[in-house]
Chains A and B, each alone.
Chain A
Amino acid sequence: METILFNIFSVLAVLSALLVVVNPLSRNPVTSAMFLVTTMISISGLFVLLNAYFLAAVQILVYAGAVMVLFLFVIMLLDVQETARRRLRVVSLVMGILSVGALFGVYNSSLESTYELEIGDSLELVEANEIDGFRSEFVGGRGLVNDVEGAVGSTQALGQELFSSVNGFILPFEIVSILLLVAMIGVILLSKKELK
């Protein structure tokens, strides 16, 4: 079941991400924004599969909700009429695809050499369910040995991690709140009628 869901969500995320960037049918920014929403929702599904329930909810609320509404609002506000299809410069397109493909190839091969992505007999995943959470390890001495107890990102667990007095993240939390305030003031200044 988990495998099927993972396949669905990952394929959906990658496909709609492709449609955000290179949509053969439409160059309209609104279409791209809609496909970006699909990507965000699929990523949130991946978060659920990874036991990060709180982050999945936040992902939908903040990204699919607030950020994308902001995007759509600005697109509508600017009234970007579909520009008469400018010719994409072929050279830049080819070079971009080549360089990004090369980057992804390097990443992929390093991933393979590290975690033995090849699904062969060298890697067998053994899962032994325990009462609370579960433990999984790779047989054959390769890969990670996982002991995933208490890695469930429920709201309570994440809150305790965030605000614990021993090794919590209280100072970063406060700094981020100041950052949000600064961003708010900056946006108000930037969107004033005449900049002085």
Chain B
Amino acid sequence: MIEPTLSHYLLVSGALFSIGLLGVIVRRNLLIIYMSLELMLNSANVALVAMSRFNGNLDGQVMVFFIITVAAAEVAVGLALIVAIYRKRQTTEVEDLATMKL
């Protein structure tokens, strides 16, 4: 068996990103869309760490550190927004949130 190389890790990362994007496009529940966003952020993290490992440079891992921090803040704000929307509209389906549609 061949050792996993950079391209294998990048393939996994690309697959995870595609699945996340599919979730954002197809699903209608705000919470699931948010989880898919997290999935996409994590796939970027995998790519960065793999690049960092195969180039012998720690900068990628520092970048991932910051991404994780920003993602945590983003999740907190986003979930608070979802709770606020639910309180006003009693729904988390994006189809019911079409006030700004022309």
Contact = CB atoms under 8 A, between A and B. Distances in A.
B21 A67 contact: no
Interface string B69-95: 111111111011111101000001101
A78 B83 contact: yes
A170 B61 CA distance: 15
Contact of A3 (B3, B31, B34): B3
B15 interface: yes
Contacts, number: 238
Interface of B: 1-12, 14-16, 18-23, 25-29, 31-32, 34-36, 38-39, 42, 45-46, 49-50, 52-59, 61-62, 64-66, 68-77, 79-84, 86, 92-93, 95
Interface of A: 2-4, 6, 10, 13-14, 17-18, 20-22, 27, 29, 32-33, 36, 39-40, 43, 46-47, 49-52, 54-55, 58-59, 62-63, 66-67, 70-71, 74-75, 77-78, 80, 83, 86, 88, 92-93, 96-97, 99-101, 103-104, 107-108, 111-112, 114-117, 119, 125, 127, 136, 143-144, 146-151, 153, 157-158, 161-162, 169, 172, 176, 179-180, 182-184, 186-187, 190-191, 195
